[in-house]
Amino acid sequence: MPLTDAGWVELTFDDALENEQQMFKRWLGPDIDLSPEGFWGKLAIKEAHQDVTEDQKLEDVYDGGSDLQANGVNLDRKGSNLGLQRNMSQSAVAYLTVTGEPGYLIAADTGFLSDDGTEFASARDVQLDSDGNGTVEVHSDDQAAYVNVDANTITDQAEPVESIYTVTNPKPATGGADLETDYDFRHRIIPNESAQEGPTRDGLKVGMLNVVGVTDAKVIENKSDTADKYGNPPQTVHIYVMGGLPQDVGQKILDIAGAGVTFVGKTVIEATDDSGNQQEVRFDQEELVDVKVSLSIQSSGAPDEDAIRQSVLDYFTNLTMGDSVILNQLYSYLYQINGVDYVESIIAGTGDTLAADNIAVNDYQLAHTTDDLIEVTVHA
């Protein structure tokens, strides 16, 4: 079909077959047998299928010129016009607090496990001090987003030894990332077209989104002479990011920030400037807000409670910083579970008191839950 003011009008098979039949009649006469069982009818059907296929290929070429429609290599080429490349998958990094026999050497590549079986390996040799304490940097075996496990979940040794007594990760693992999808790459290209990396608020956000593993960023500027409502000091910039390795985030901030900008935050990174000198950079990962969820389910069978909890976790996974928890949106997730006949109630809260109200968070906060915070009650 031709390109119209409304865009590309997709060719349907019925229209294609009608076009082919009309052409056959013009060439071979109006009395030609175009029944599906006849030779010319079968040929018309074959040609119509080919026309639809060719039309779809032409539509793909047309869509390849649009940021919102381009896919695959076409999207990669559009990104390259802005100096962007699709982000590759990446391992997560965590820091373990280990206690054990004083002086014990934890060799590089020593394996540790999270409670869900995610594997990590130590990055280098670490010797426990005279009190039997040590901090071990570990990297996940897999390169994916799921390896960003929660705090206090890496608690097991892959090959237990008696010289190690306890192990845990006080903070979540960070930096793990999947190969960037067309959807995510497309939605990173769009802000890069409206703003370039730089010291402006939009430029800083774009820069953060270009760090591998960062899925969202908030930049809070306090240009006043007093502390703002979040407690940020006057004349400061506070950056919050979701995902990414802290070292990569800190280096990007230093690379694109203007001179004289004061950044605040609890995460402190030593980044290298153009002269090779170390500079202190501050920012924060998103602030997690733990949300308790209680579900009352009616079922005539025996629904998988683990699947019910996973559906709630899936909903929270799609939230970004500043997103409210909309309880009504959970219903569509729950009704996909086999055995869930009726959802009697959903209540939630950030403390001990739960209610059927939506939960709002600040711009830099992320609503978060875990299996332990999800209560499921099933009634026959």
Give the residue from 322, 319, 324, 325 showing the smallest Cα distance to 364.
Answer: 322
Q: Residue 301: is its pLDDT beyond 80? A: no
Please indicate, yes or no, whether residues 237 and 206 belong to a single structural domain of this protein: yes
In-domain check, residue 233? yes
Measure the CA angle with vertex 359, ends 353 and 364; round to 5°.
120
Share of the chain above pLDDT 70, in %: 94
DSSP 48-86: HHHHHHHHHHHHHHHHTT-TTT--HHHHHHHHHTTT--P
Give the residue from 124, 129, 131, 120 showing the smallest Cα distance to 106.
Answer: 124
Structure tokens at 253: 């901030």
pLDDT digits (tens, 9 = 90+) for 110-169: 999 999 999 999 999 999 999 999 999 999 999 999 999 989 999 999 999 999 999 999
CATH number at residue 209: 3.30.300
| Mean pLDDT, rounded, for 70-94 | 82
Grade residue 4 by pLDDT with cuts at 50, 70 and 90. Answer: low
Question: What per-residue confidence (pLDDT) applies to 207?
Answer: 93
Grade residue 47 by pLDDT with cuts at 50, 70 and 90. Answer: confident
Question: What per-residue confidence (pLDDT) applies to 63?
Answer: 61
Query: Cα–Cα distance between 1 and 52 in angstroms, integer?
Result: 9
Question: What per-residue confidence (pLDDT) applies to 222?
Answer: 93
Domain that holds residue 368: 288-379
Q: Report the domain count for the chain.
A: 4
Query: Cα–Cα distance between 256 and 258 in angstroms, integer?
Result: 7
The least confident of 7-16, 112-121, 336-345 is 7-16
Please indicate, yes or no, whether residues 212 and 273 belong to a single structural domain of this protein: yes
Question: What per-residue confidence (pLDDT) applies to 296?
Answer: 92
Contact between 93 and 149 (Cβ < 8 Å): no
Grade residue 260 by pLDDT with cuts at 50, 70 and 90. Answer: confident
Per DSSP, 145 falls in state: S
Final residue in a domain of this structure, among 228, 254, 285: 285
Report CA-CA distances (Å) from 73 to 76, 78, 80, 177, 326. 5, 9, 10, 20, 37
Q: Residue 67: is its pLDDT beyond 70? A: no
| Mean pLDDT, rounded, for 264-291 | 92
In-domain check, residue 299? yes
Measure the CA angle with vertex 356, ends 352 and 361; round to 5°.
70
| Mean pLDDT, rounded, for 159-183 | 92
In-domain check, residue 272? yes
The per-residue pLDDT of the chain, averaged, comes to 88
| Mean pLDDT, rounded, for 248-262 | 89
In-domain check, residue 275? yes
Please indicate, yes or no, whether residues 31 and 104 belong to a single structural domain of this protein: no
Contact between 118 and 147 (Cβ < 8 Å): yes
